[in-house]
Structures are given as structure tokens and as C-alpha cells.
Structure 1
Amino acid sequence: MRFHIVNFPNTETTRHYQPCAYTQKNRRFASMMTELGHEVFLYGGEENDAACAEFVPIVTRAEQSEWFGGADLYKDPINLTWSPHDVHWQISNERAVTEIAQRKGKRDFIGILGGTCQKPIADTFPELMTVEFGIGYSGVFANYRVFESYAWMHAVYGSYASVPGVMSARGQFYDAVIPNYYDVADFPFSEDKDGYFLFIGRMVEAKGIQIAIDTCTRLGVNLIVAGAGEVPEADCVEYVGVVDSTRRGELMSRARAVFVPTLYLEPFGGVHAEAMLCGTPVITTDWGVFTETVQHGVQGFRCRTLREFCDAADAVHKLDYRGIRDYAISKFSTDVVAPQYEAYFERLLTLWGDGWYAT
């Protein structure tokens, strides 16, 4: 199989850009499909460390600086704006179209994660199948879609259920749910935990940072906070800034638990999967993806009141750290997820023949 994967205009497909989950999905997808023997053309910025048949730069560092006001796109990847009419999307889409046209073959796949912002690429190549292959966002458009969780798939379906007299949206046979995926080597394991709890991610209210602070304040324990943004002041907080992939793994592996108390319906929440890969318990809210990935009292705790968050923090030391890691590897490692993607795309290939009726 042959894939054309188009990265975002604001980042590079390297391990360095950890704060952008979708950049890392593009990078890891290219590598794992290449390792399975498929041909991957990856389009992006000037830098790349993903395995692929060919890396095609379509955006320069100078252009990124111009478009995003010289912002540090490692520390602030959310500086990206989300209109297909924005100059950075228009130019990167046009260049991707030009480069794909020179390389495309029959029955190739185009893979994007920018939703409607990258729709012009799909519109240019109706003879190819465009797949949104890791949806954790709104603004979906493709005929073929892979969601990061059933919770988010159902949320997106529900958002279109507005026809009078229709109870709910219909499912789509050629959609799928495949979780996010990670290189296990990036996540060290430690049986020995230190005394701190960890919150790592964007410093926005919707990520639940205040819940982590309130819990640790009430218990009188330390909370290390890492990520981009302004951290609420509290005596329990030690802010360590934006951390690289090595420091990220160290902090996660030694934490008593990682807080991921997202207030909105979390499509995936990569931090909680990363923490579990380190053998570290997670403390989450009780909706979204967590209902699928966190067995209450096994890999962590799903909570609905401050009392429950405090009880969870008091109890995490009783959990089986090795069991948490083994579970996470069985769910989220690239070795496990890559065959799921391969099977999904093989299913799509049947649409060139008998499709749903293929034997």
C-alpha cells in the first residue's frame, strides 16, 4: 500500500515536537507503516526523523516565523489557527497538492489530521481515498475516518443527528476506532515512585489543572506541573516548564500518579496513555475515552467529586505498576496498533472490488 501523509504547517515531524499530539501521530504513523513494508510519502516542514520512502518539505522555517509571528512553536504549538482560508493552510495545502500530483499512483491513500483545514487536498484528488486516520477533533469531512475512541466517534455522530424524526445518526461501516499509538522505548518504567503527583499538558482550564491543584492542596502533597501556558499559583505547585521527551518520560515514570482530569469529553488524552506506559497510575474524570481505557481501581481511578479525587490520590500506591505498563503496551504500543491500521486499510481496498460483500 502507498500513503501520502501531510503534516501541519506549524511543526516539524521530529520527536522534539512532543506538545503537538497530531504531529507525533503523523510521524509515528509514517514510521510504523514503513516498517510494515508499505510506501509512505511524508510532507511537512524542513525537519523530519520519521521513517518513510520519501520526505517532501513543503514549508520553510522562515515561513513559519512569518505566519506565526516568530512564536516558539515547540512551546506554543496551539498558536496555529483553524480556518482553511488562513495563509498557512492555503500555502501548505497548495504545495502538498503539487507534490502529491507528481508522486500519486492508482489506489493510493491520502492521510490527514487537519480536518476541514486540509479538505482542499482531498478535493483535488477524488480518484484517491482520503482518510482522516486519527480523529480527536471536530470539523471532520472525509468519507473514511478513524476515531481515537468510541466516545468521540459517537460524539461526532451525535453532532449530525439533527434530522427531525430521526432518533440518532447512522453508523458508517468504513469508519473505525483505533487508539493513539506510541513507541514503548520512549516511556521508561520504574517500580520506585517519588512523592510527587504530576500534571502535564496545556495550562487551560478545560484540561482540569485546577482539580489537580485542589486535590494536592487538600492532601498537602507536591504537584509537579509541566507544559505550555500560565500556571495557577498554589503552594503545592512546582512548575518545570515545557519538557522534552526524555524529561517527560522521567517525570511520568517516577510520579505517584498522573492527573488527567479533563473537563470536556476527552477524545483520547494522550498523557494518560503515556503515563500508563510508564507503569504510573492515572487519575481522571469519568467520561470520554477514560471509560474505555481506565479500569477503575486497576490502572487508576475515574472520579466525579473532590472527595473522590482525594481518595484516589491516597490509594494509587496500592495499584500494580507492572500490570499497568503491561496493559498499556497491549493497547497502545505501535507493535499492537500497526496491524490494526493495516487491516483497516486492507478493508478499504476491498471497495475497489466487492466492498461490503467481499468474501
Structure 2
Amino acid sequence: MRFHVAALPHTQTTKHYSPCAYTQKVRKFCDMMMSLGHEVFLYASEENEAACTELITVVTKEDQKEWFGEKTLADGFDWFSWNPQDRHWLIANARTIAEISKRKQPRDFLCAIGGGGQQLLDQAFPDLQTVEYGVGYSGVFSKHRVFESYAWMHAVHGARTTVQKIMSERGQFYDAVIPNYFEVEDFPFAAEKDDYFLFIGRLIEAKGFQIAVDTCKRLGAKLIVAGAGRPPEFGEYVGVVDVQRRGELMSRARGVFVPSLYLEPFGGVHAEAMLCGTPVITTDWGAFSETVQQGVQGYRCRTLREFCDAAESVDKLDYQAIREYAISKFSTEVVAKQYDYYFQRLHTLWGDGFYTV
């Protein structure tokens, strides 16, 4: 199969941009499809670490400097606009459309991950199958969509359905759920933990870092905080960390807090922590209800008392079993096969589709 993969206009497809989950999904998706023997045409920036048949540069570093100024990872990505009428999207999309036009063949897939920002690509190629292959956002547009969790798939469908129309609205047979995916070698395992808890992620209210602060304050426990944004007054702040440092911090922590206050589509940090064999402490909604078995890989909580109890109980969990579970669910080796099966199913739509036997 052949894939035209459109990257994002504000980053480079390298591990350096690990704080941008969607950039990493692009990079690893290309790696997975190439490992399965497919052709991948990547429309991206100048610096690239993704495996691909051909890298087509549609955004230069000079473009990014002109569009976004001197932004660094320490600034996070909340400044980035997903408005499809903004200059960076219009230019990147126009260039991508021109380059895909030179290379497309019948029955190719067009893979988008920018939500409404990349809808123009779908409109430009009605002869291709456009797939949003990592939906953790609400602005879906394509006919074929892969969601990061069942919780998020149902949330997106529910947002478009009124109570009066529940029985008249129909599910989409070619929607699918495939979890986020990770390279196991980036997440070291430590059988012994150090005496600290970790919060790593964007330091915004919605990510719930205050819960980690309040819990560790109440217990008199050490908290290390990493990520872009204004650090809390409590805890040891270590800034934005690279891939190696992230693995070190996660693997040695007693537990990692991922207490998102919103309906988390996936929450990659908790899967990364589990890949290190480290228990997670989360809220009790969104993807966590599917990925964290209570008292096995960690704890899902609803009150400060429960968060405190969880923090005091993580040492009892089986670290090796947590890691093995995470590898079986979220490793690129496992997830690649799920994507391959999904695209093989879509390929039948050029024939009998649902009725293929």
C-alpha cells in the first residue's frame, strides 16, 4: 500500500520535538508503515528522522521562523493556531497538494493528523481515501477516522448527536480505535524506585498538575515537575526534558501523576510511565478507564483522599507486570499490526467493502 503522510507546519519530524505528541505520532507512524513493507511519502519539514520512501520538504526552517518567531520547546505549543485560514496552514497545505498531485496513484491513502487545519487536503483529492489516523481532537472532518480511545470516539460522536436523534444517528463501521504507540527502547525499566513522584507534561490547569502538588504536599512527599509552562511553587522543577532524561525520571519515580481534568483522549504520559514499569495515578474518566486497571497498573481517583491513598499504595504494585502490560498494548511492534489490518480493511472499499468475504 502507498501512504501520503502530511506532517505539521510548526515542528520538525525528529525526537527533539517529543513534547509535541502529534509530531511524534507522524514520525512513528511512518516508521511502522515502512517496517511493514509499504511505501510512505512524507510531506514535512527539513529535519526528519522518520523512515520514508521519500521526504518532500513543504515547510522550511525559515518559513517557521517567519511564521512563529523564535519559539523554543520551553514555550510549549499553546501558541500554535489550528485555524485553517492562518498563513502557516494555507501555505503548507498548498505546497502539500501540489506535491501529492505529482506522486499520487489510484488507491493511495492520504493520512492527516492536523484536524481541520488539513481539511483542504481531503477536499483536494476526492479520488484518494483520506484517513485521520490519530484522532485525539474534536475537529474531525474525514470519512475514515482512527480514534485514540473508545472514550474519545464516543465523545466526538456524542457531541454531534442530540438527545432526540440518538436512535436515528448511526455508527460508522469504518471508524476504529487504535491506541497511541511508543518505541519501547526509549523507556528504560527500573525494578527499584527512588523516593519521589513525577508530574511531566504541559503545566496548564487542564492537565491537573495542582492535584499532584496538593497530594504530595499532604503526604510530605517529594515531587519532581517537568514540562513547559509556569512551574508551581511546590516541587522540584526540572524544565523541559529530552527523551533520555524523560526515561530516567519516569523509570525511577515511585509513581507518575496524570490527573487530567478534561476527558483525556489518551494521555500519552501514562502509557510512557507504564512502559518504564512505573505505576500511574490518574483521574477516572476518558482513556484512563480503558487503559488503567484499578490497583494493577495504577489507580484512578476522584477525591484528594483517593489520590493520597493511591500515592501511598503504588509501592505494592508489580513493576515488571506493568511494563509487560504496556508493551503488549502500546508498543509500535504491536500497534503496527493493528494499523495494517485497519488499512487492509479500508482497501476493500475499492471493491465490495462491508460485503467482502
- State TM-score, norm by structure 2: 0.98
The answer to whether the 8 Å contact 2:74/2:229 transfers is: no
Are the structure 2 counterparts of residues 74 and 32 from structure 1 closer, same or farther at C-alpha, using a change threshold of 3 Å?
A: farther
The alpha-carbon deviation at position 167 of structure 1 amounts to 4.4
The alpha-carbon deviation at position 70 of structure 1 amounts to 1.8
The alpha-carbon deviation at position 341 of structure 1 amounts to 0.2
Q: Distance in 2 between matches of 1:74 and 1:226?
A: 10
What is aligned with 2:24? 24
The residue matched to 1:78 in structure 2 has which SS? coil
What is aligned with 1:250? 248
What is aligned with 1:268? 266
What is aligned with 1:63? 63
1:265-309 CA distance string (max 9 Å, x none): 000000000000000000000000000000000000000000000
Q: Distance in 2 between matches of 1:147 and 1:75?
A: 28
The answer to whether the 8 Å contact 2:19/2:73 transfers is: no
Counterpart code for 1:19:
P
The alpha-carbon deviation at position 220 of structure 1 amounts to 0.3
What is aligned with 1:153? 153
Counterpart code for 1:222:
K
The alpha-carbon deviation at position 164 of structure 1 amounts to 3.7
What is aligned with 1:206? 206
The residue matched to 2:25 in structure 1 has which SS? helix
Please say if 1:296 is aligned against 2:294: yes
Counterpart code for 2:236:
E
Q: Distance in 2 between matches of 1:352 and 1:60?
A: 36
Q: Distance in 2 between matches of 1:217 and 1:207?
A: 18
Are the structure 2 counterparts of residues 340 and 74 from structure 1 closer, same or farther at C-alpha, using a change threshold of 3 Å?
A: farther
What is aligned with 1:342? 340
Q: Distance in 1 between matches of 2:167 and 2:211?
A: 36
The answer to whether the 8 Å contact 2:73/2:228 transfers is: no
Please say if 1:88 is aligned against 2:97: no
Q: Distance in 2 between matches of 1:291 and 1:58?
A: 39
Please say if 1:307 is aligned against 2:313: no
Counterpart code for 2:256:
V
Are the structure 2 counterparts of residues 128 and 74 from structure 1 closer, same or farther at C-alpha, using a change threshold of 3 Å?
A: farther
Q: Distance in 2 between matches of 1:277 and 1:233?
A: 29
The residue matched to 1:77 in structure 2 has which SS? coil
The answer to whether the 8 Å contact 1:197/1:259 transfers is: yes
Please say if 1:118 is aligned against 2:118: yes
Query: Residue 355 of structure 1 is aligned with which of 350, 353, 356?
Result: 353
Stretches (4+) displaced over 6 A: none
Counterpart code for 1:277:
L
Counterpart code for 1:246:
Q
1:8-46 CA distance string (max 9 Å, x none): 100010011001000000000000110110000111111
Q: Distance in 1 between matches of 2:331 and 2:63?
A: 35
Q: Distance in 1 between matches of 2:38 and 2:275?
A: 27
5 Å-filtered alignment, 1:41-190, equals 41-73=41-73, 75-162=75-162, 164-167=164-167, 169-190=169-190
1:206-226 CA distance string (max 9 Å, x none): 000000000000000111000
Counterpart code for 1:88:
H
CA RMSD of aligned residues (A): 1.0
What is aligned with 1:193? 193
Q: Distance in 2 between matches of 1:350 and 1:165?
A: 30
The answer to whether the 8 Å contact 1:160/1:169 transfers is: no
Counterpart code for 1:308:
E
Q: Distance in 2 between matches of 1:165 and 1:310?
A: 42
Q: Percent identity?
A: 67
Q: Distance in 1 between matches of 2:170 and 2:208?
A: 32
1:92-116 CA distance string (max 9 Å, x none): 0001101111111110001111111
Are the structure 2 counterparts of residues 248 and 292 from structure 1 closer, same or farther at C-alpha, using a change threshold of 3 Å?
A: same
- State TM-score, norm by structure 1: 0.98
The alpha-carbon deviation at position 171 of structure 1 amounts to 1.1
Structure 1 portions without partners, runs of 5+: none
Structure 2 portions without partners, runs of 5+: none
What is aligned with 1:216? 216
Are the structure 2 counterparts of residues 59 and 166 from structure 1 closer, same or farther at C-alpha, using a change threshold of 3 Å?
A: same
